[in-house]
Structure 1
């Protein structure tokens, strides 16, 4: 059996006034719990180190830069890496990345069990808008502060498995899972910060949001015969509610662990990577069943073109 004991480290809200050090202290507490439960991989949310700052419109680039990390690990996160190394637990978490070239990405990293960064993913499917929108109940300015990811959807071999990453809105796009599925992915880890209400349609509330999130991850898992671990940052963040719903999904699309709160909470599952084999060799045997001669529209156009 190729087993990875995965922990999904759901986090409650990070307020605007919280320091990186205060946030990391909570992450360390979750890491301690993960050690006690025998985890070999611990996954934290998107933008784990800060509040979800794209909800604010900012014109001063110096102010924007305060939410970004120019190196990783850095002074604030060094204790997290050190303790993960001491425990022999691989970690994955999201943060706002500013590159040496001055590019800005919504990034997630993956380490090995010695706390060496072995993988980096930059969010591809950026939701929201780039300018202040008076028609929205609240702002969602990811397109203002981030560039679309430039690393694609790679997978990495670690802990005797093929592991990939995604971030938040990526989980809603089937292409995200399929590109990794075509590389044989067996475990996809992703973090998210998802508002509890739709800023453009107020009648879509928490129940609908949670359903769509689960639907996205369970279908992606099933259709690519892979484990999926989705981890939320949630709760009332500076007056803006974020939904929870963290879960671990098996390669048959079934939820095997689910968070019960809207705060810091660890859920775990011993994930057998060999559980993905049957699906990959039968109904989703891509080599035998895919018909790529009919899929050209997927990569040749972005918007909808209706027949006359």
Structure 2
């Protein structure tokens, strides 16, 4: 048995006026709870240090840099890294990254149990739009403030398992999981900030949005025989609600832990990485069953093209 006790650290709302220090204090409280529960890995949400700022339009793009971190760890987050090192708990967290070259990414990192960064992922599938959209009930300006990730979908060996990361909208794309699956991934960690209301389809309803979120994670887990830990930032941020629905999904695609609130909440599950083996050696034994000669359109074509009538 290769067991990792994982804490999915859902976070409640972060208001525009909240300081990084106040947010990190909440993250520390979740970390302490996780350590008491025996966790050796804690996964935090996407953009877990700030409000979901892509809902706010800045005509001058540079004004949004206040939401970005120029280094990691930095002064506000150093206490989290220090405490994680002392407790021997690895962490994965999402934040807005400003590189020394001036690039802007939606980023997630993974540390080892000594708080050393061992993995970095930058969000590939950016949703939303670039300019202010008068037809939407609220803005979703990730394409304005971020560049598409440039690191692909790498995996790392840590705590005896093959781990990968993705962020929010990435979970809706099967290619995300399959690229990691082709590298033998056994644990996919993903954070998200998903509005409770679809800005272009307000009648969709929260129940359907939660269903689609969970559906994508369960399908990705099952079709790649991997654990998936999906962690939300949720609740009402300055009048803009984010949905919860954090889950831990096993390699059979079954939810083994699910959040019940839209606040700070810790899910804990002992995840046996050996449970990935059956799926990877039977129905999803890629080497035996994949037929790549028929998959060319996946990389040759971006948009759908229907046959001529």
Bin for the TM-score computed over the shorter chain: over 0.9
1:240 aligns with 2:240: yes
- The structural deviation recorded for 1:60 is 2.5
Rounded to whole Å, the distance in 1 between the matches of 2:169 and 2:202 is 19
Alignment-derived partner of residue 36 in structure 2: 36
1:108 aligns with 2:123: no
Rounded to whole Å, the distance in 2 between the matches of 1:238 and 1:177 is 33
CA RMSD of aligned residues (A): 0.5
* Local SS of the residue matching 1:66: helix
The 5-angstrom pairing of residues 137-152 of structure 1 reads 137-152=137-152
1:58 aligns with 2:58: yes
Alignment-derived partner of residue 87 in structure 1: 87
In the alignment, is the contact (CA less than 8 A) between 2:61 and 2:145 conserved in 1? no
The 5-angstrom pairing of residues 1-308 of structure 1 reads 1-308=1-308
Rounded to whole Å, the distance in 2 between the matches of 1:62 and 1:299 is 34
- The structural deviation recorded for 1:255 is 0.2
- The structural deviation recorded for 1:234 is 0.1
- The structural deviation recorded for 1:306 is 1.1
Rounded to whole Å, the distance in 2 between the matches of 1:91 and 1:202 is 35
Rounded to whole Å, the distance in 2 between the matches of 1:293 and 1:102 is 40
Rounded to whole Å, the distance in 2 between the matches of 1:53 and 1:205 is 23
Rounded to whole Å, the distance in 1 between the matches of 2:186 and 2:111 is 17
Rounded to whole Å, the distance in 2 between the matches of 1:168 and 1:87 is 28
Rounded to whole Å, the distance in 1 between the matches of 2:292 and 2:156 is 25
Rounded to whole Å, the distance in 1 between the matches of 2:47 and 2:24 is 12
After TM superposition, the score normalised by the length of structure 1 is: 0.99
- The structural deviation recorded for 1:307 is 1.2
* Local SS of the residue matching 1:50: coil
Q: Deviations over 1:273-297 (max 9, x none)?
A: 0000000000000000000000000
After TM superposition, the score normalised by the length of structure 2 is: 0.99
Show structure 2 runs of 5+ residues with no match.
none
Rounded to whole Å, the distance in 2 between the matches of 1:238 and 1:97 is 23
Show structure 1 runs of 5+ residues with no match.
none
Count of matched residue pairs: 308
Rounded to whole Å, the distance in 2 between the matches of 1:304 and 1:26 is 44
- The structural deviation recorded for 1:56 is 0.7
Q: Deviations over 1:153-193 (max 9, x none)?
A: 00000000000000000000000000000000000000000
- The structural deviation recorded for 1:207 is 0.2
In the alignment, is the contact (CA less than 8 A) between 2:50 and 2:67 conserved in 1? yes
Rounded to whole Å, the distance in 1 between the matches of 2:93 and 2:246 is 14
Rounded to whole Å, the distance in 2 between the matches of 1:205 and 1:103 is 36
In the alignment, is the contact (CA less than 8 A) between 2:195 and 2:242 conserved in 1? yes
- The structural deviation recorded for 1:116 is 0.1
Rounded to whole Å, the distance in 1 between the matches of 2:61 and 2:243 is 29
Rounded to whole Å, the distance in 2 between the matches of 1:157 and 1:200 is 40
